[in-house]
Structure 1
Amino acid sequence: MKFSAVVLALAGAAAAAPVPEPVAAPMPMPTPPGIPSAASAKTQLAALTVRAWTNTDTYDRDLFPHWITISGACNTRETVLKRDGTNVVTNSACASTSGTWVSPYDGASWTAASDVDIDHMVPLKNAWVSGAASWTTAKRQEFANDLTRPQLWAVTDSVNQSKSDKSPDSWKPSVSSFHCTYARSWVQVKSYWALSVTSAEKSALTTMLNTC
């Protein structure tokens, strides 16, 4: 009798126990191509020319033509949205009509492409004052639409606007765990395109790489 009562009590407790709800897996962060290891990035950073900005008064965004057609109806922006989003659906004009984008700079998740900007890791003005002023327009176009290196990122529009043309000594992503990837990507772009860094910029990048 006592045994039956215990069994019934346990069964009742089991039935009353709350069933844990399934937890959604975190959305994957975008990973543009060409991000070097921390060791490689440190070597690249050490080799960059250090000098102050030049040609600061002559910058014009139109000197870096973008977004250009990449394939079919898709331009650079639309290509990055498809690359960095999850379950992205596009229409006949290659515009994203649905999908999910996770901004690595602030960790925010968006389901409307209009809330997402494509950030130039190394801003166009920063490139201009770091050496791109002497480039041809064709080379600047290649830089502004570079899909081969970690130069283009889908991020929250307001965060991109907050970053503007700032280098890492003046602006960093609010997600501190992303600082390592951010610095590695920044250095890779500057190294490939042979752009210079300021002393403050180099110091900030060194600190960020030391978090890797």
Structure 2
Amino acid sequence: MSSVRTRSGPRAAVTAALAAVLALGGGGCAPVDEPTPTPSGDGGNAAQMLGQLTVAQAGSMRGYSREKFPHWRDTGKNCDVRDTVLKRDGESIKLSGCNVVAGRWESVYDGRAFTDPSDVDIDHMVPLANAWRSGADEWDDAKRGNFANDLEQPQLIAVSATSNRAKGDQDPSQWKPANRSYWCQYAENWVTVKHHWRLTVTTAEKAALTEMLEGCTWASKP
């Protein structure tokens, strides 16, 4: 994995326990409980992180395949990371054994609500193909798997299948959520993931993110 900041306290314990389950598979029959990833909540910090990212042209797609980003990892008996995110991001969740079979999800990308988990996709905030073009092509499959199953950073989110597929592998200069009220959080989460994983941004991508962050109410805070 990329370099990770040292953590301590309860959050570290949760993260360590989750990492062990993801790596080895769990014996439980319920999706792993994982707190919602906590973004900085500070537009100035996101802008600072954006300024630290390396700007580079998008790399080649040569050699890319989704299989090089192994997901979804097991998190229990018949359970995987997808179930974990569905449980974390939904309300009134119902399980059949270990599988999430019902609940309520509101897609922050387009404001649509669902009660059938088959109508919900788990989006990679930074798409796998985009990551490949911005540095992940140089990683091994284990590190790419860690990226594709990252529950600690704001990398995984339950959204409508239609919005996820409309997004595809596009960056914020090419696609933004229809729900404009989510743009600030979207830009912050995108920057947080790219900064943590030391991925590059294109000139157009950086310009779009800068504009999105500048339009946020907290961007001018000291």
Normalising by the residue count of structure 1, what TM-score does the alignment of the two structures yield?
0.83
**Structure 2, gaps ≥5 residues long:** 1-34, 217-222
- The residue aligned with 2:170 is 166
How many residues in Structure 1 have an aligned counterpart in Structure 2?
A: 181
Paired residue for 1:144, among 148, 157, 162? 148
Please say if residues 98 and 111 of structure 1, whose CA atoms lie closer than 8 Å, have aligned partners that are also in contact: yes
- The residue aligned with 1:78 is 83
Please say if residues 32 and 149 of structure 1, whose CA atoms lie closer than 8 Å, have aligned partners that are also in contact: no
Paired letter, 2:80: N
Q: Percent identity?
A: 49
RMSD: 1.1
Name the stretch that deviates more: 126-135 or 63-72.
Answer: 63-72
Q: Does 1:56 align with 2:61?
A: yes
Using the alignment, how far apart are the partners of 2:210 and 2:75 within structure 1?
Answer: 35
**Matches of residues 180-199 of structure 1 in structure 2 within 5 Å?**
180-199=184-203
Give the superposition deviation at 1:163. Answer: 0.3
3-state SS in 2 of match to 1:154: strand
Paired letter, 1:49: T
- The residue aligned with 1:47 is 52
Instruction: Describe the superposition over 1:110-156 as per-residue Cα deviations: whole angstroms up to 9, x where unpaired.
Output: 00000000000000000001000000110000000000010001000
Paired residue for 1:107, among 101, 107, 111? 111
- The residue aligned with 2:31 is none
Please say if residues 106 and 159 of structure 1, whose CA atoms lie closer than 8 Å, have aligned partners that are also in contact: yes
Paired letter, 1:70: T
**Matches of residues 22-33 of structure 1 in structure 2 within 5 Å?**
32-33=36-37
Give the superposition deviation at 1:159. Answer: 0.8
Paired letter, 1:74: C
Spell out structure 1 runs of 4+ moving beyond 3 A: none
Using the alignment, how far apart are the partners of 2:96 and 2:160 within structure 1?
Answer: 22
